[in-house]
Amino acid sequence: MESKVCNIPSLLSFILILLRHCARAQANGDCPADGRTWVPFGQSCYHFVHGEEDVAKSYTIEKAKDMCQGFALLTVRNAEVNDFIVQYSPKVWKDNVNIWLGLYYDSDDDQFKWSDDSVVSFKNWVEGGSADWDIPVMDKCVALHSTTGKWENISCSEKRENGVVCEAAQKPVVIRKKNGSPLLSALVILSVIVILGVSAVIWFFHQRNSSGSSLLPSFEYHPPFRSPSADQTCLVEAEELAETS
Ligand SMILES: *[C@@H]1O[C@H](CO)[C@@H](O)[C@H](O)[C@H]1NC(C)=O
């Protein structure tokens, strides 16, 4: 009997551990799980290419795109993301690096566009502008200075910039919650019911066995689990509570 009672809390804590694990998996699950470090920020996850991946330290924009392995190069659509990149970069690189932005020059529309063809609304050009008038528009790429956050026009073909940041969209959390939570709660409630049911059955059979084996002398040494006097005390207390309230 005693050991069975002890099993219920341990089972419950097992469920809690499972739950916590599920919650963590959900939090990480919003970023790609490809063994690389993805930093969630806002609507996206960012992978700063460095360490063993970054032996060459300097990449053409084509090589930079390759290194992102199917994910996009960095897009900076607002000041918050621009600040985030500036703040996070020192954790990855000691000095300034020029990070490729996922921008291309659309000569039909005569403007830069993000790699998903969306137009550029937030811009953070370096002041004073252009030593870059001689870059033909078709060869215009943009790099972000990791220490200042300012953007610079550079030649796509000639320049090798030394920072690569890849970006992946986070899976929308709202939809996840809608699908995930009721199922999770149902599972928890179900497992609690199952555990309580199983314990009740075990308890029931134990009680039957105990009374059946009451002829055994050993039974004498084990007082019943609930003594009637204890139950009475509870009743008296409950009555007192009912009267005072
Ligand atoms: C970079 O090029 C774009 C498009 O030609 C231009 O609008 C922008 O002012 C240039 N930025 C700098 C800092 O020169």
- Domain borders along the chain are 1-28+176-216, 37-172
**Cβ of 153 less than 6 Å from ligand 1:** yes
pLDDT tens digits, residue range 16-35? 666 665 555 445 448 999 99
Q: Is the CB of 126 under 6 A from ligand 1?
A: yes
Q: What is the pLDDT of residue 89?
A: 96
CATH 3.10.100.10 at 37-172, yes or no: yes
Q: What crossing angle do the helices spanning 173-212 and 2-29 adopt, rounded to 10°?
A: 170
Q: How far is the CA of 129 from the centre of ligand 1 (A)?
A: 7
Question: What pLDDT score was predicted for residue 236?
Answer: 46
What mean pLDDT do residues 136-161 have? 91
Please work out whether the CB of residue 80 comes within 6 Å of at least one atom of ligand 1.
Answer: no
Distance 125 CA to ligand 1 centre (A): 7
Torsion sign, CA atoms 223, 228, 234, 240: negative
Residue 12 confidence (pLDDT):
63
Torsion of CA 228, 234, 238, 241, to 10 degrees: 150
**Mean of pLDDT values over 97-121:** 95
Considering only CA atoms, which residue is closest to atom 10 of ligand 1? 153
Distance CA 233, CA 239 (A): 10
Separation of alpha carbons 124 and 151, rounded Å: 6
- Distance (Å) from CA 17 to ligand 1 centroid: 54
User: Mean of the pLDDT values across residues 185-192?
Assistant: 88
Cβ–ligand 1 contact at 125 (below 6 Å): yes
pLDDT reported for residue 160: 82
130 lines ligand 1 (CB under 6 A): yes
**Ligand 1 atom 13, closest CA:** 129
Residue 175: its pLDDT value, please? 45
The H or E element containing residue 136 is none
Closest ligand 1 atom number to CA of residue 112? 4
The pLDDT of residue 106 is: 94
Q: Provide the whole-model pTM.
A: 0.61
With 90 as the cut, is the pLDDT of residue 71 above it?
yes
Of 90 and 227, more confident: 90
Shortest-distance Cα residue to atom 4 of ligand 1: 111
Q: What is the mean pLDDT of residues 179-194?
A: 81
- For residue 49, the CA-to-ligand 1 centroid distance in Å is 27
List all residues 6 or more positions away from 77 whose beta carbon is below 8 Å from its beta carbon: 114, 121, 122
CA–CA gap between residue 210 and residue 121 (Å, rounded): 78
Indicate if the pLDDT at residue 150 is higher than 70: yes
pLDDT of residue 216: 47
DSSP bridge partners of 119: 113
User: pLDDT tens digit string along 190-210?
Assistant: 999 999 999 999 998 888 877
pLDDT for 234 equals: 43
Share of the chain above pLDDT 90, in %: 47
In ligand 1, the atom with minimum distance to the C-alpha of 128 is 13
For residue 127, pLDDT over 60 is answered with: yes
